[in-house]
Amino acid sequence: MAGTVRQGLSAAWPICLGYFPIGLSLGVLAQKGGLAPWQMAAMSILVFAGGSQFIAVAMLGVAASPVAIVSTVFMVNLRHLLMSSALSVHFPGVSRRFLALFAYGLTDESFAVNLTRFSQGGWHRYSALTLNHAANTTWIVSTVAGVYLGQLVPPGAAGVDYALTGMFICLLVFQLRGPIFTITALIAAACSLMAYLWLPGNAYVIVASCCAATAGLVLKRTLLKREVPA
Amino acid sequence: MNSREFLLLMAAMGAVTYLPRMLPLVALSGRKLPSWFAEWLELIPAAILSALIAPTLFAHADPRVLTFGKIELLAALPTLFCAVKTRSLAGTVVVGMLCYWGLGLVK
């Protein structure tokens, strides 16, 4: 048991190292947006999702409606359906209670590390759970620390306003795993700009991503059909 | 927004974050999603991220108009380069912030 926990911790450090500056910048942004330390802590504990929390902080800052915020967060996290499905094959006969607890810590990063380790073999589920919670603890501590530090940081200092955009650009690059992903992203950007100009509020995110994913899927299927001789 | 409304919003955000993480793991284990749906979902993250970034880079907020001269767009080029070359999230965020900050000072 102690050994599996140690294994989990030693595999978690790159994630923790990566989360810390991002958590700090999120905390700083949240402080600028008027969030109190306890509100940041509540958000990091209840939500624990980097991208979604950045979006939520930005949307809270422009007084977006709760429905718009929740539906955007939902859309952003749809990708976890796939990750959760992919991980499920590594938990045969494991209790639902364990899975319910494990699922709380499923992020892009913990998914990537845990799936790799499970595939290599010899990765205990308690190591995986430890990794998730080490990442989670780092996230909560760094976001709340950011709120306190935010009071010391003048507006615009060291380009912290760009942390959100920088993170999304990098996560987008991680997603571009082939031509069809790049084409979908380009369609999404074009749809997003059109929807941004013509539709009110934050509807552009949902409208553009659904249109682009559908267009990408249709394109992929038509191209594939052409490649296969009838 | 008061504390109660804030906590309710966080709980709702938490629920829509947790359910997609938990439901397949608990319910779908061993089963497969319809292939078209799995492929559609696979494209969703790239689409969402791109849709989120585009207006930041190519549009002013108030009033909403297209533009190609924002610092955000200029800073995006080295940021994108760094993301492709290093594939490091933390490194890319730092490079992006420094470029944005530096360009803001120059302008």
Instruction: Kindly state the average pLDDT of the residues A198-209.
Output: 79
Rounded-to-integer distance, Cα B61 and Cα B63, Å: 6
pLDDT at B52: 82
User: B-chain residues within 8 Å CB-CB of A17?
Assistant: 90
| A185–B33 CB contact, under 8 Å | no
Tell me the C-alpha distance between A174 and A79, whole Å. Answer: 13
Q: Which of A88, A171, A196 comes nearest B64 by C-beta?
A: A196
* Least confident residue range of A32-36, A107-111, B55-59: A107-111
Answer yes or no: do A88 and B29 touch at CB < 8 A. yes
Phi, psi (rounded to 5 degrees) for B59: -145, 145
| pLDDT band per the 50, 70, 90 thresholds, residue B26 | confident
pLDDT at A230: 43
Q: Which residue has the tokens 């992903």?
A: A181
The pLDDT confidence band at residue A165, using thresholds 50, 70 and 90, is confident
